[in-house]
Structure 1
């Protein structure tokens, strides 16, 4: 009895129980497939890490409705994505275009790695050069070092 009651409470408390399921009628099955693919590709401007298919934010509901209307009106995928980018910026796409500002974002990790390697190489070379200069002892310093080592051996 208690197990059933606990199961009912858990099911009612599940966030999926509160989700709104929107169903749109499409003229062709291809449009429905395009709708699901594009809704997975477009990011919710409010949620930031959810696509519009998974988000319950009001802006995502509006974007899903707009996506349906544009598909029914005969817009191509490119036209729909261009419209969304023009209105919400490149951020609205999970896979931003390769070019412009996003080119810098794509290239930044490689450039930073290359810069780090160059800096590390320069630092190691400068240390290597200073290490040789300090390792060379003059005859007076060498004699003093030998005396100190002999003294340390006698004391131990």
Structure 2
């Protein structure tokens, strides 16, 4: 990529040809995909002793942080549809970590509660975030900056979808 000289006013902005933008190594989505896959491997190892998959860990994080939650609220927080979330919650229930209850007021609404075993698992999960942080090779400040930038990116992309 060869930047062009800045315009007479305003900050310098490099311009890139369409052909250059089409290169795999210039696709931010691919960089995020590759990082996500790398995270998956690190999480798989870190979660092995807990008996959780990464998506199950995320669901447990929501419950540990917020307590009993309707399935719909968990899905919204994790950005998962019910077709993905329901089997995941069924597996957590079969493992004895959560209990699902239908609302007596609305049969369509199901609330997920931690079992005693699910609540106790939180203590064993405490080292996971530091283990992941160490694996990134980044400082806490860098991670927080990256999270902020990714939050802005997610917001912009959500807005671009209408």
TM-score interval, normalised by the smaller of the two chains: under 0.3
- Say which structure is richer in strand: 2
TM-score by length of 2: 0.23
Which structure shows the higher helix fraction?
1
